[in-house]
């Protein structure tokens, strides 16, 4: 019985740790978004039709990396690390 409770307690701790880590990733991504993306893609990543910039809500890290590598408009963000792109994607996933 004690072993079963120990396993449950460890699983709960891991879930909490993962949740805190995910929140931290999104918080870091929000900082990157505000510094690098908000000017063209809007405060809520909704895009700006007048600028012909698309919504980027919910974009994955792979989609973001592809956009950076294929568009000359993204020259200022090509220096982001893979970790920063992952964090950015975590933040974009929080937007509805």
Task: List pLDDT tens digits, range 26-42.
Answer: 999 999 999 999 999 99
Give the pLDDT band of residue 17 (cuts 50, 70, 90): very low
DSSP string, 1-27: -HHHHHHHHHHHHHHHHHHHHHHHHHH
Task: Decide: pTM greater than 0.75.
Answer: no
Domains of the chain: 2-94 (1.10.760)
Task: List pLDDT tens digits, range 69-93.
Answer: 888 888 878 888 999 999 999 999 9
Predicted pLDDT at 21: 45
């Amino acid at each position: 019985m004690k072993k079963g409770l120990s396993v449950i307690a460890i699983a709960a701790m891991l879930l909490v740790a993962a949740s805190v880590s995910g929140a931290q990733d999104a918080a870091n991504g929000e900082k990157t978004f505000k510094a690098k993306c908000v000017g063209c893609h809007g405060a809520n990543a909704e895009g700006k039709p007048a600028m012909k910039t698309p919504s980027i809500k919910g974009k994955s890290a792979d989609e973001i990396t592809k956009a950076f590598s294929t568009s000359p408009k993204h020259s200022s963000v090509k220096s982001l690390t893979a970790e920063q792109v992952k964090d950015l994607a975590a933040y974009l996933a929080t937007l509805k």
